[in-house]
Structures are given as C-alpha cells and as structure tokens.
Copies of this chain bind each other. A is one copy, B any other.
Amino acid sequence: MRLDLDTIRSADRRIRPYIHRTPVLTSSRLDEASGASLFLKCENFQKIGAFKARGATNAVFLLNDVAAQRGVATHSSGNHGAAVARAAKLRGIPAHIVMPSNSAKVKICAVEGYGAHIVFCEPTEQAREVACADAIAKTGATLIHSFENENVIAGQGTAAVELLEEVPDLDLVMCPVGGGGLLCGTAVAAKSMRPKIKVIAVEPANADDAAQSFRAGRRIVTQKKFTIADGLRTNVGEPNFAIIQRYVDDIMTVSEEAIVSAMRTIWETMKIIIEPSAAVPYAAIQEAKIDVSAKRVGIILTGGNVDLDALPWNL
C-alpha cells in the first residue's frame, strides 16, 4: 500500500470543497484536570457528523469516470455508509449500502436521504459481506471498504494534517482504533509532519484485538464483547496492522465505565456532543492509563452521532 504524506496531502486538496475544516477546541477545565494542554479536533462537527466523510469522499472522487458510472458499494451499520452515500451523491453516481436489518432508524434515514440504494441483510459480518459481494456482482460497483481501502485511509489522515497545521508543536496525538482506518491515516500524517511526535491509540477493553495484536507482534482476531463504543467493535484490518506496527507507539485499553464517564465529562465541560467512540482517548487520560502532564496532546474527536433517546448514563 502506498500511503505517505503526499497521498494524504493530495486527498486533502481533493476533498477540500466537500468537507468542513473542523475547529480545534481547548478547555481550561480539562487542561486543569489532566495537567496537559489538550487540543480537540472536532470531527463531531464534520459533514455526516463524523470523520468518515473524509475517507469516503477521497475514495469516491479518485475513481475514474468509467468505474464511477457503475457506482460504489459498501457494508456499514454506521457512519461510513452515510459517508459513502453522501460522496456518491456529490459525484452523481449510484451507491449501494448494505446495512443490517436491525440498524437504527436514524442511520437508515441518513443513508436514504442521500439517495443511496439500501440492501438489508442479517446482522452478521458474513451476511454483510455476502450481500455486498452480491450487489457488486450485479452492478459492477466498486467496493469502498471502510478501513482497508488505501484511499479511505489517506482521506482519514487529513484530519491530523489539519490538526498539525493549526497546532504544529504537539508532543503526542491520540485517537481511537477500530478497523484502523483513522489510526493509520493519523499515524502516517503525524509522524511524517513531526517525526518526534508520539502516536497513541486507545480501544475499549471489551474489543482489545488491536492492543493484543500490538503486544504480540502479529494480528490477532478476537471475539468481541459488547462495547458502548459501537464504532470500535471491528477487528483491525490486515493492511492496517502493518502500518500500525511501523508508525504507532502504543495501544492502550479503557473500561466501559471510563468511556461513559469521559463522554459525560466532555459533554458537560465543553458543551459539545460526542459519540462514545470519540470519548475513548480522553477516557485513557481520565483513567490515568497514560501520563500526559505538561504535554501538548492532540485528540481526534471522531464523531457526534448519538441516539438522544438512549444515552449511556440513562441505560
């Protein structure tokens, strides 16, 4: 996979007309609590409410015209499906989004709102892949995988480029890890722009395949327990793990309680809405899993799509 700062900067120019340059917020109260200077990159304010708009837009606009006309396809129960649907609409091409039949209604509406064709399937990983392969066989659409696609990864890396352009002298950058698309883009961008920076990934203890793999030095696929951070249930991808081994400094895990507590702290302190997955890096700081005192720390807040009728502190 060719993934370097040049491909990420190209992605940045390509997607610029279609995405927000999101703000970087600070909080004196969070700084006091952590002893660090925190810089929060607000991808919860991004188009479709999550960083996923970046990678999907880059991948869709990189297709040549012949392939593009046949459309794009993906399987996703979450933000990536909406991101691909929106990018396809912007390019004026068909999108086939495979979603589990038990997907939240708000997520189905979002994808429908962009005019995509939805294919419902049983809520298993295998059913999703079969339904997606089927749609591709019928239509000739191109698969836009949510984290293994190199153009998606390059697009996700543009958030870190913007963050480091705005705050160049960071000591470390933190983001959550699920499949590894955001982490790989972030790590390559950050280490290329600032070689001395540390890149720290955080994942729920209930879905700790990346941390296990990192320690073992080989990719380990695990059966996942439930985690409130539903965006992070996926196992790290093969190509992603190779990049992680090369560029990431550490991967740590946090408890479910810490994730909910960190999410609530950020809501109450900063008055911004973030989804549970976005709270995972701050949970590691709040739980003192990492010493950030006197450090300048960039954190990518990945998204803000939550069901206000089912907030975790009400469950």
For residue A33, CB closer than 8 A to chain B, the reply is: no
A308 and B264 contacting across the interface, CB-CB below 8 Å: yes
Give residues 201-226 of A contacting B (CB, 8 Å).
Answer: none
* Residues of chain B contacted by A313 (CB below 8 angstroms): 308-309
Contacting A272 at CB < 8 Å: which of B272, B308, B311?
A: B272
Report the bound CA distance from A225 to B125 in whole Å. Answer: 53
Inside 8 A of A270's CB, which chain B residues have their CB? 45
Contact status of A271 and B271, CB under 8 A, knowing A308-B313, A311-B308, A313-B309: no
Closest to A263 in B: B308
- Asked if A200 CB lies within 8 Å of chain B CBs, one says no
| Contact between chains at B309 and A314 (CB < 8 Å) | yes
Closest to A309 in B: B313
Residues of chain B within 8 A (CB-CB) of A115 are: none
**A45 contacts which chain B residues (CB < 8 A)?**
270-271
Which chain B residues lie closer than 8 Å to A271 at the CB level? 44-45, 49, 272-274, 304
Chain B proximity of A2: nearest CB distance (Å) = 34
Chain A interface size, under 10 / 10 to 19 / 20 to 34 / 35 or more: 10 to 19
A304 to B270, CA, bound (A): 9
Closest Cβ of chain B: how far from A83's Cβ, in Å?
A: 16
The reply to whether the CB of A165 lies closer than 8 angstroms to some CB of chain B is no
Contact of A268 with B by CB under 8 A: yes
Q: Which residue of B lies closest to A307 (CB)?
A: B268
Give the docked Cα–Cα distance between A170 and B267 (Å): 30
Q: Is the beta-carbon distance between B267 and A308 smaller than 8 angstroms? A: yes
Q: In the complex, A314 Cα to B308 Cα: how many Å? A: 9
Contact residues, A6-52 vs B (CB, 8 A): 23, 44-45, 49
Q: For A271, A308, A313, which residue has the most chain B Cβ atoms within 10 angstroms?
A: A271
| Shortest distance between the CB of A276 and any CB in chain B (Å) | 14
**Minimum CB–CB distance for A166 against chain B, Å:** 14
**Cα A264 to Cα B106 with chains together (Å):** 14
A290-315 with Cβ < 8 A to chain B? 304, 308-309, 311, 313-314
Bound-state CA distance A92–B270 (Å) is 26
How long is the Cα–Cα vector from A67 to B82 in the complex, in angstroms?
60
Would you give 21 A-B contacts (Cβ < 8 Å), ordered by A? A23-B23, A44-B271, A45-B270, A45-B271, A49-B271, A264-B308, A267-B273, A267-B308, A268-B308, A271-B273, A271-B274, A271-B304, A272-B272, A272-B273, A273-B273, A308-B311, A308-B313, A309-B313, A309-B314, A311-B311, A314-B314
State the A residues within 8 Å of B (CB): 23, 44-45, 49, 264, 267-268, 270-274, 304, 308-309, 311, 313-314
Q: Which 9 A-B pairs have the closest CB atoms?
A: A271-B304, A271-B273, A44-B271, A272-B272, A45-B271, A267-B273, A273-B273, A271-B272, A308-B313
